Structure 1
Amino acid sequence: MKIAIISPGPFSVPPVKGSSVEHDIDEVTKMIDPEHQVTIYTRTCDTYPRSAVEENREFIRFSYNQGPKLYLQRIIRHIRKRKPDVIMVENRPIYVLALKRHFPKIPMFVNMHSHVYASKGMISKEKMKKVVRLTAGFFTNSEYLRRHFMKACRIPAHKIHAVHLGVDVSPYQVAKIHFSIRKIRKQIGLQPEDRVLFYAGRLMRAKGVHVLLKAFREVSEQDPLARLVIVGGTGYGSNRLNPYVRELKKLAKPLGDKVKFVNFVPSAQMPLYYQLGDVVATPSVWQEAFCRVNLEAMASGKPVITTPRGGIGEVVTHQGSGFLLPPEKWKKELPAVWNLLWGVPAIRTEMGKNALMRAKQFSWYATAQGYLNVFEKVCKKQKTPSPSKQTLRKTG
């Protein structure tokens, strides 16, 4: 099968400065069986050549500097030469409208990573309705997001498939014994006896970092050894000081050196940084579709304290691999959870083991197989003549 995958365009695949969608494209396509040919369309950047081949994957890169319209036009011209069996559009349903005008007979899928790019501000209700009609199917990274689109966009149940993302636990486990961890701890100003609560992600209100800081203030009052390490910037690769970051710094100021802000860290280095934490916190206040940070934390063998928003509960098991606390209860309940984890160390150890076991259930190979199974069914159905056509052939 020849599969064309179209990345959104603002970031490169593989990602240089982060970006979760592009990371997911890179990881899952590595696991697609070698009998399939995969062409990944993405943007040009200084790090990579305009085209490259890696086993059964080919990267074709076009400029995105002039925006999505010209980027997509160049991709369309290239697809004409390749004639793929399937086209997968990543997180940009609006692209389908242009693509279908040129390739009406090629089955087309949209892989939605969140609700954002199918929302009113990104695509009109009428255009989204047309996309639903034109596509062969949709993928989501959680059952929560699948149900959201079934209701919000009236996508028929048989046409939308929930396929969880994966994680490779190896780099996170290898990082545990890496020599540079001690150096990083020293740079940040952590002492050997410190008990570290760790946050990784963008510094944006939806991620609830303000909720974490307010709750951590209560934790620090009862535990003088508690420290909070916050890794991330305002965007992928950006450490801009915006009003929200200023608000976070203001909340952290009374806590002094108990709170450590670390700027954006490239995803390739993150397995090392997760080792700084004893427990990982993801205080999301919005409806997270999946929250990959939880899975990465669990791959590091860390208990996770998170919220039951969106699809998070499909990944983290409450009182198994972590705790699911509603955001409005963090200030009251985080100190009690922290006391439990440090008052009974065996619980923290057991949760860490459970977290690792849970993470191993989410593999990129399983994600790839989930996509391929749907592609193959649709392609097989398209090649099989309908009963009416078979009757016509017999009588003709």
Structure 2
Amino acid sequence: MRKGVNAPVYPPRLAVVTPGSFVIPSSRSSSVERVIEHTIPPVADPQRTRIYGIRGEGLPARGRLNRIPCIRFPRGKRYIPSVIKALKRWPAQLADVHNRPFAAYRIKKACPRIPVILTLHSTTFMRPPYMIPGKESMLLAPLDRIVVNSEYVKQAIISRVPQAAEKITINYPGVRIDHFRQRWTAEGEAARTAGLNKAGWHNRRILLYVGRLVPGKGVHRLLEALPRIIASCPDVLLLVVGSAFYGSRRSTAYTRKLRAQAVNVKDHVRFIPYTPHEELAGLYQLADIVVVPSLRDEAFGLVNLEAMAAAVPVVAARTGGIPEVVKDGITGLLISPERIEQELAEAVIRLLQEPMTRRRMGLAGLREANSRFLWEHSSRRWAEIIEQVARK
């Protein structure tokens, strides 16, 4: 494109707007902030990029995420107005707004000359109570691009706003293979044995659940299936890792229900409260199987990738974007959400009784993660999207 007074500059002055729910960077944030932390710093120009977030955790109002300036404002109703003022002051030439359609709309209306990308990590904020039915088209129409993390989310948007189809681009999240010590190597098995011995679980086969403890994640159905699994595999031990809220160990009626449910199988269940993400790799290393028993549609499910990076097979519900990650019969087993208790038990028992199948699926998962789901892949696609929107 010929340069002129009105020609866009590439790379543009780029603003990345986090949702305003969690501080960035933080080990206690949601997967949204993790995606931002891993995808953007490796490829963004630190001289022309700013990340906007909220204050908290003793971090200063201005800091850096790697080399990129990170500017923090008070949380709550003041957050997006503060971001808009900052965008105008800088001034920004492009904005990438994460997981908040209404915030992206407000920014576009306030800064109509700035191309605005909405990066959606789930369909949560496209549904009530976060969005009034019938308003989806109005909010998405002004936006210049919509980036989603799965074909499932893409189709969910198109079903609500068919005219948005041409704006939507998929960018799968990734994983750091080097963060995990894989099974099926002499070093990996030695480290796993040492970890099991240290925990007192040396004679146990380990099922691992990692995630929030909320009804939609299906942990209660996993506990319902556990007695049947125990009957066939009496040495099984289920590790339930997580809490109801990110970064908090606060209990809820549901978490208390889960603990009550586990009383009759207490020798086969351990609840491990919320664990910072960087500490989870050691738990994946102990696992024979990672279980993802979601009852609702998961947009993607990073836990599946983390299991694959640790070379551990997955038993997961065939829901949302999970089938785009887990290849049934190759990197794990997919089960029907409608028959989850029965099929979950059958799948877990089969894999526990077939160590060579676990090994084959675990190694296939590791290869799949290496070939399709590295953060490097996500970063490269993100940079291409930014360039396309900036040059358009």
Provide TM-score, normalisation by structure 1: 0.89
Give the whole-Å Cα distance in 1 for the aligned partners of 2:301 and 2:33.
Answer: 15
Q: Which amino acid aligns with 2:355?
A: P
**For residue 170 of structure 2, what is the aligned residue in structure 1?**
162
Counterpart residue number, 2:107: 99
How many pairs does the alignment contain? 377
Whichever residue aligns with residue 88 of structure 2, its letter is: R
Name the residue aligned to 1:390.
Answer: none
Sequence identity of aligned pairs in percent? 30
Q: Answer whether contact 1:29 1:38 (CA < 8 A) is retained.
A: no
Corresponding residue number in structure 2 for 1:388: none
CA distance in 1, matches of 2:389, 2:251: 48
Could you tell me which amino acid in structure 1 is paired with residue 87 of structure 2?
I
CA distance in 1, matches of 2:324, 2:83: 35
Q: Whole-Å Cα distance in 2 between the matches of residues 174 and 300 of structure 1?
A: 4
**In 2, Cα distance between the equivalents of 1:364 and 1:8?**
20
Letter in 2 for 1:76: I
**Counterpart in the other structure of 2:32:** 21
Which residue type is aligned with residue 77 of structure 1?
K
Q: Which amino acid aligns with 2:42?
A: M
- Indicate whether 1:310 and 2:320 are aligned: yes
Instruction: Tell me what 1:384 maps to.
Output: none
Aligned in 2, Cα 1:100/1:18: closer, same or farther, shift over 3 Å? closer
Output the amino acid matched with 1:17: R
2:64 matches 1:53: yes
TM superposition shift of 1:355: 1.1
> Do the aligned partners of residues 146 and 203 (structure 1) sit closer, same or farther apart at CA in structure 2, a change above 3 Å counting?
same
Whole-angstrom distance in 1 between the partners of 2:105 and 2:65: 30
Q: Deviations over 1:62-103 (max 9, x none)?
A: 111xx1x31112212211122222101111111123212321
Q: List alignment gaps of at least 5 residues for structure 1.
A: 382-396
Residue 344 (structure 1) aligns with: 354
SS of the equivalent of 2:300 reads coil
8 Å CA contact 2:146–2:169 kept in 1: the answer is yes
SS at match of 1:234: coil
Counterpart residue identity of residue 202, structure 1: R
Secondary structure (helix, strand or coil) at the match of 1:281 reads strand
For 2:232 and 2:188, how far apart are their aligned partners in 1? 31
The match for 1:43 among 39, 54, 63 is 54
Alignment of 1:67-216 (within 5 A): 67=76, 69-125=77-133, 127-173=135-181, 185=196, 190-216=200-226
User: Are positions 1:221 and 2:252 aligned together?
Assistant: no
Q: 1:369 to 1:244 in 2, by over 3 A?
A: same
Cα distance in 2 for residues equivalent to 1:179 and 1:347: 20
State the SS of the aligned residue for 1:134: coil
How many angstroms apart in 2 are the aligned matches of 1:21 and 1:8?
Answer: 8
Q: Tell me whether 1:9 sits opposite 2:17 in the alignment.
A: no
CA distance in 1, matches of 2:31, 2:305: 13
- The answer as to whether partners of 1:50 and 1:60 remain within 8 angstroms in 2 is yes
Supply the distance in 2 between the matched residues of 1:152 and 1:96 (Cα, whole angstroms): 18
**Per-residue deviation at 1:341?**
2.2
Structure 2 unaligned runs (5+)? 1-10
Give distance in 1, aligned partners of 2:232 and 2:384. 52
Residues 365 and 38 (structure 1), Cα distance of their counterparts in 2 relative to 1, 3 Å cut: farther
TM-score by length of 2: 0.90
Deviation at 1:56, TM superposition (A): 4.8
2:233–2:352 CA contact under 8 A, matched in 1 = no
Task: Give CA deviations for 1:179-202 in whole Å, capped at 9, x if unaligned.
Answer: 997786467x54212001100000
> What letter matches 1:61 in structure 2?
R
| 1:232–1:265 CA contact under 8 A, matched in 2 | yes
2:312 maps to amino acid: K
Amino acid at match of 1:114: S
Displacement of 1:111: 0.8
Structure 2 partner of 1:358: 368
Query: Which residue of the partner structure matches residue 248 of structure 1?
Result: 258
Residues 129 and 336 of structure 1: is their aligned pair in 2 closer, same or farther, counting only changes over 3 Å? closer
1:227-256 CA-to-partner distances (Å, cap 9, x unmatched) read: 111000011022222111122112211112
What is aligned with 1:276?
Answer: 286
Tell me how far apart the structure 1 counterparts of residues 84 and 355 of structure 2 sit (CA, whole Å): 57
